[in-house]
Amino acid sequence: MSAVPADRLRELTFRLEHDPDGDRITTILCQHETLELSTIDIVLGNGSYTRLVQLTGDPDAADSLQTALEDHDYCPRAVDPEACGGQRSWYRLECSPRRRLIYVYAEDVQSCPSVEALLTTNLNCGTICESRHCGETVWWRLLMRSDEAVSTLYDRLHGILGEDVTLEMGHLGTATEWHGDGIVDVGLSGSQREALEAAASRGYYERPREITLEALASDLDVPESTLSYRLRMAESTLVKRHLERFGDGPLA
């Protein structure tokens, strides 16, 4: 069989906002600011997918979240959890104090009123779906071979979401990068991301620096104090995330 050169994947992002008291998972995440639940799914079609689940944060909080997920056999996050059928099997791959990694295989979940069920029944086999859950917010990023089903997916998402969940679409375009660490990198605001990317591309973080903060602010047409604040907030978010993920203990 000869290889067929492929164009870049298409990328779709969207965000879900859950009621803090809407379900047990959201409640636990809202109670612990440093706790994160992230996933990578590979769509197998016909209501089936494989998933890697990663939990990071304070050990006690991670224990509570892991227990909640295991109580439902890592059932998809559904509008009505009791309506979720199908079969699931899961295996612990890693269990350190601040990081848990679990492999999940699910099949026949197409009747479950959940994002996962819609993805597995509407998107091509091989689609990669990343999600990151912090507090009441869930960010999704889909890497697809084709975006033909996006409008249908959007309509069906609206159809299953209850009053306690709101949907905000992000963007649809050509995928340009893979984050590689299993975490959707959406913790930064748009202005923070823009400032950080501009600073990096213009040599602000080189040693010695290739551009001053004043010159960078002028290029971006923003006050120097505003740019400084955005960079500090972005840097703080990234440093905390790194320490929460790889540190030996909880942050002070």
Q: What is the CATH number of the domain that holds 227?
A: 1.10.10
Q: Which domain holds residue 151?
A: 10-174
Mean per-residue pLDDT, 236-245: 68
Do residues 34 and 58 touch, judged by C-beta distance below 8 A? yes
Clarify whether residues 221 and 122 are in a common domain.
no
Q: Are residues 148 and 28 in the same domain?
A: yes
Residue 139 included in any domain: yes
Reply yes or no on whether the pLDDT at 236 is more than 70.
Answer: yes
Half-sphere exposure of 170 (CA within 13 A, CB side): 15
Name the CA radius of gyration of the chain, rounded. 20
Residue 81, domain member (yes or no): yes
203-215 pLDDT per residue, tens: 898 888 889 999 9
What local confidence, expressed as pLDDT, does residue 50 receive? 92
Q: Both 95 and 121 in a single domain? A: yes
pTM of the model: 0.67
pLDDT in tens, 102-130: 999 988 887 787 888 888 888 888 888 99
Query: With bands split at pLDDT 50, 70 and 90, how would you rate the model's confidence at 155?
Result: confident
- Report the alpha-carbon distance of residue 178 to residue 21 in Å, rounded: 33
Nearest C-alpha neighbor of 186 from the set 51, 16, 10, 63 = 16
CB 5: neighbour CB atoms within 10 A?
4
CA 228: distance to chain centroid?
A: 27
Q: Are residues 234 and 201 in the same domain?
A: yes
Q: Is 114 exposed, middle or buried (0-12, 13-18, 19+ CB in 10 A)?
A: buried
